[in-house]
Amino acid sequence: MAESRLAVRKTYKLYIGGAFPRSESGRSYLVAGPEGHPLANAALASRKDLREAVVAARKAQRGWAAATAYLRGQVLYRVAEMLEGRHAQFVDALVAGEGLTGAEASSAVDGSVDRLVWYAGWSDKFAQVAGSSNPVAGPYFNFSIPEPTGVVGVLAPQASSLLGLVSVVAPVIATGNAAVVVASEAHPVPALELAEVLATSDLPGGVVNVVSGRTAELAPVLAAHRDVDALDLAGAAEGTEAELEAAAADNVKRVLRSRRPGPDWSAEPSPARMLFFTEIKTVWHPVGV
């Protein structure tokens, strides 16, 4: 009779600047399954962790934006490949965490992989669709191109912890932004697992940073942060949006409001999220001999 083997449980940490630190606060919280049974401990990020994540994102953003669109597309495609390779693991995480059936979880993981592939393909087409050359009355070649807004704070959807997450993060980074993501509070595990996928997908450290913890504690910090350029409120608690939006006005952040009820993440998206987190730059280039 084979000896019973003791399972090696996983420790979940934050994902900041390409590394996996614990919270500087030393705090963690218990993540429970749908029936309330304990699943894992997740780091309970502090305000300071979040600020560190913003610093890491700012540091990484310029290089990521300067990478060719082709390269960004390949990196996103690589993320899709790595996610596909860990399909079973994510299905397990969704079944255990959100209480989905195996088929539902499998379809959420399929959808997430497909979404990444969709955005991977956008990276070198978006500027063609979102930009223009403008027939101005004068001797100028006048063109408009989308550029990344910069550092985007993302409150990941609370309910759809993988497909929702991928649906909000992929459009942010496809165009060259860096993201600071606050994972679903109740279901942080898929986000923290996805961080491991990102870390092994040639995505430069700091382009996506993932913190777990209390959304109510972290969201106001992100909203008020002067070095965050835009905010996605997808996962904001109902009733907190007005306060977060008001705080975001301190540096005229671009704020994508949350919708109630939340969007159907399984529906095919439009380029609207990419448009929202980009700025249009217009250049007047002289023409002459």
Partner 1 sequence: MAPRFVYAPAPESRAVVNLRPSYGLFIDGEFVEPIDGGQFKTENPSSQEVLAEVSSAGLADVDRAVRAARRAHEEVWGPMPGRERSKYIFRVARILQERSRELAVLESLDNGKPIKESRDVDVPLAAAHFFYYAGWADKLAYAGLGPGPKPLGVAGQVIPWNFPLLMAAWKLAPALATGNTCVLKPAETTPLSALLLAEILQQADLPAGVVNIITGAGDTGAALVAHPGLDKVTFTGSTEVGKQIQRRLAGTGRRLTLELGGKAANIVFEDAPLSQAVEGIVNGIFFNQGQVCCAGSRLLVQEPIAESVVEALKRRLETLRLGDPLDKNTDIGAINSSTQLDKIRALAASGEAEGAQRWSPSCTLPERGYWFPPTLFTGVVPAQRIAREEIFGPVLSVLTFRTPDEAVEKANNTTYGLSAGIWTEKGSRILHMAARLRAGVVWANTFNRFDPSSPFGGYRESGFGREGGRHGLEAYLEGSLDG
Question: Which residue, 106 or 240, has its beta carbon nearer to partner 1?
Answer: 240
State whether the Cα torsion 184-22-45-202 is positive or negative. negative
Decide: helix, strand or coil at residue 9.
Answer: coil
Collapse the DSSP code of 149 into the 3-class scheme (helix H, G, I; strand E, B; otherwise coil) and give the result: coil
Identify which of residues 78 and 273 has a Cβ nearer to partner 1 in the complex.
Answer: 273
**Least distance CB 281 / partner 1 (angstroms):** 6
Cβ of residue 75: shortest distance to partner 1, in angstroms? 21
Q: How far is the CB of 272 from partner 1 (least distance, A)?
A: 5
Which stretch of DSSP H or E encloses residue 117?
helix 102-122
* Smallest distance, partner 1 to C-beta of residue 288, A: 9
Residue of 75, 87, 82 whose CA lies nearest to 111: 87
Closest CA to 92 of 214, 157, 10, 24: 10
- The whole-angstrom separation of Cα 248 and Cα 232 is 11
DSSP structure class, residue 123: T
Nearer to partner 1, 154 or 195 (CB): 154
Pick 202 or 250: Cβ nearer partner 1: 250
| Cβ 152 to partner 1 shortest distance, Å | 13
Shorter beta-carbon distance to partner 1: residue 150 or 213: 150
* Structure token digits, residue 287: 């023409």
What does the binding site for partner 1 look like in residue numbers (CB under 8 A)? Answer: 129, 132, 134-138, 140, 142, 144, 149, 229, 241-246, 248-252, 254, 256-260, 269-270, 272-273, 275-276, 279-286
Phi, psi at 70, each rounded to 5°: -60, -45
Between CA 140 and CA 255 the distance in angstroms is 34
